[in-house]
């Protein structure tokens, strides 16, 4: 085993490939490179792409935040929305893209089984997704999907629509008020 880690895998752990061995830990996506799923070139191409996303995303978003902090003219209410988006993208870039880069470079999911407790490795075994495949359905997939749809899609979408509609209403009122101030005759 790589790095000498001893890991207890669940009895119903499923790997989507035909096994030629009964030793499932020899192909564990948490312990060893997954060379049997794709060539090294595929893994390194994905790692290079994720490194590009990490470097580019980190640089551009950090530059956006730094410019806004440094230049007082950029500190407007509307620019705070852009800074908020840049900070969010910076976190995604630093956490998600870096983790994906390291996982693809190592050819296995580097955060181990602890990070995938309720999920299973998917595709090239360098990322985790919902556990749809195990026979022991102790996490109830249907409620997970409903929760995911509700709180990770519907609520944020409703919040975004509400906030932007309020922003548009405020902008229209400001334009009307400015027009009245500039042309008070009519």
* Overall domain count for the chain: 2
Whether residue 77 sits in one domain with residue 154: no
Whether residue 90 sits in one domain with residue 19: yes
Whether residue 112 sits in one domain with residue 60: yes
pLDDT, tens digit, 9 for 90 and up, residues 152-169: 889 989 998 998 899 889
- Final residue of a structural domain among 95, 113, 136: 136
- Domain carrying residue 75: 2-136
Given this model, what pLDDT does residue 3 score?
46
Whether residue 98 sits in one domain with residue 8: yes
Whether residue 121 sits in one domain with residue 167: no
Whether residue 162 sits in one domain with residue 107: no
Contact 163, 39 (CB under 8 A): no
Q: What percent of the chain has pLDDT over 90?
A: 18
pLDDT, tens digit, 9 for 90 and up, residues 67-81: 999 998 888 888 888
Q: Residue 127's domain is classified under what CATH number?
A: 1.20.1070.10
Given this model, what pLDDT does residue 4 score?
45
pLDDT, tens digit, 9 for 90 and up, residues 1-44: 444 445 565 666 555 555 555 555 555 666 666 666 777 788 88
């Amino acid at each position: 085993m790589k790095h000498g880690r001893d890991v207890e895998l669940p009895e119903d752990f499923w790997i989507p490939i035909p096994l030629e061995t009964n030793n499932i830990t020899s192909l564990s996506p948490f312990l060893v490179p997954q060379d049997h799923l794709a060539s090294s070139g595929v893994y390194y191409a994905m790692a290079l792409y994720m490194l590009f996303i990490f470097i580019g995303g980190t640089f551009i978003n950090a530059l956006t935040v730094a410019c806004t902090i440094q230049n007082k003219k950029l500190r407007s209410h509307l620019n705070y929305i852009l800074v908020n988006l840049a900070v969010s993208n910076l976190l995604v870039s630093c956490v998600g893209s870096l983790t994906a880069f390291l996982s693809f470079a190592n050819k296995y999911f580097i955060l181990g089984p602890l990070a995938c407790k309720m999920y299973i490795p998917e595709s090239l075994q360098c990322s985790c997704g919902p556990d749809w495949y195990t026979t022991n359905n102790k996490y109830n997939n249907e409620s997970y999907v409903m929760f995911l749809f509700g709180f990770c899609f519907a609520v944020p979408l409703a919040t975004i629509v509400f906030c932007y509609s309020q922003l548009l209403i405020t902008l229209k009122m400001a334009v009307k008020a400015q027009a009245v101030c500039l042309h008070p005759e009519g």
